[in-house]
A and B are shown apart, each in its own frame.
Chain A
């Protein structure tokens, strides 16, 4: 069980809410954001994406898969107390740096030496084709839609969220586990996920919007007002209700 999966509804947090409207609060944060986007745009899985990007022809030394699932798996693997201690892009910097070290692209010694020196970056012969591929990815994306839908459930069906133990990464919010909701909508198409998470998603499957009542989720701790909670859930996370039980 990972605390990061159970953020929704966590109590005891600061009030009133501080609405920090800046996107970046430190200049350095922009750099790690840009590096992450570049990695997504150069990820080797994009050769089988829609559209099929010519990744093999892009003259980059990057040869791994890197998606949102990669970043999130790292965030979900953190010490949960560190997860709350560090700011958003501090977590990105830690996770992305660790990835490059673990995969052998850079060493800790190189990073330390470079950080201690003010030696300007050596110009390289990197081709603008690298940046062209990243821009193509940004403009055309990486849709997970793969097929026409084959839905098991229909709008109005009552469904229960599964409680399969999450592995390294999940897309089922913890506060919904085992709770009952109503299918509000079935999306057109089946949807893959970046990876097989080990808790049921990965291969193309329908996605639903499921409506939950706050009292179903929070009991007496729900707000006394006419609210609804909607979640988008992969079919693997839903099971039918046995009405006669």
Chain B
């Protein structure tokens, strides 16, 4: 391998020092405050987490009329629920849900960047931002899904949604069989960020 792809040995320490220096200077110069970054992070850690998406999914599982509404006018349906203020805020201005069904599996990608529905799913995991996923899922979604443990029947249609416009997409996964008696809390445990983007099915955490 040529040096073209060599990384410096202090790769992470160097980046950590650089960002610390940048943040310190931005504070000194009055661009942000000494609390700004921590407050931004706290917003996502405490309020804008996948718990919001889990509640939306479980509501759809328990309420067929809501399930019908949430894929037609997602912002209005989400606004019915008791979720933190900001579901239509940054990166949630135009939420759009798509629902899996027998014979239909939805997969959300963003080949140009990494558009992600922050208010309902929190911040995107690394796999979603990975150029390898973004490149491969566009052409060979069934193969990619198989590699990460999602085996679909051959006749199941995979719908790939490329987030190239204004909408921020998420998936309502199918409710697993045998969960009719589950409480909402038990049902929410079956829903992951990955299942709400289509790279996993709802089910017990693996």
Contact = CB atoms under 8 A, between A and B. Distances in A.
Contacts, number: 296
A23 interface: yes
A110 B41 contact: no
A124 B27 contact: yes
A230 to B, nearest CB: 5
Interface string A135-149: 101111111110000
Interface in A4-52: 4-5, 7-11, 13-23, 25-28, 30-35, 37-38, 40-42
Contacts of B130: 18, 20
A9 B114 CA distance: 16
Contact of A19 (B127, B129, B143): B127
Task: Report the interface size class on chain A.
Answer: 35 or more
B75 to A, nearest CB: 10
Contact of A18 (B20, B127, B139): B127
A191 B94 CA distance: 11
B32 A60 contact: yes
Contacts of B136: 10, 13, 15, 17
Task: Report the interface size class on chain B.
Answer: 35 or more
B22 A97 contact: yes
Interface string B37-48: 111110100001
B161 A230 contact: yes
Given A8-B134, A34-B38, A144 B166 contact: yes
Interface in B159-176: 159-167
Interface stretch (B59-67, B83-91, B177-185): B83-91
Nearest to A123: B34
Contacts of A214: 139
A140 B77 CA distance: 17
Interface string B123-139: 11111011111111011
A74 B59 CA distance: 40
Given A23-B123, A121-B34, A124-B34, 13 more contacts: A9-B135, A10-B135, A13-B135, A28-B20, A61-B29, A93-B22, A121-B27, A130-B36, A138-B90, A143-B88, A223-B142, A227-B158, A232-B164
Interface of A: 4-5, 7-11, 13-23, 25-28, 30-35, 37-38, 40-42, 59-62, 68, 72, 75, 81, 83-85, 88, 90, 93, 96-97, 100, 105-106, 110-112, 114-116, 121-128, 130-131, 134-135, 137-145, 170-173, 175, 187, 191, 207, 214, 217-218, 221-223, 225-234
25 contacts: A4-B112, A11-B135, A14-B132, A17-B136, A23-B126, A26-B12, A28-B15, A31-B37, A33-B40, A34-B41, A35-B26, A38-B37, A40-B90, A72-B112, A93-B18, A93-B22, A126-B34, A128-B33, A139-B90, A140-B88, A141-B89, A225-B154, A229-B138, A230-B162, A232-B163
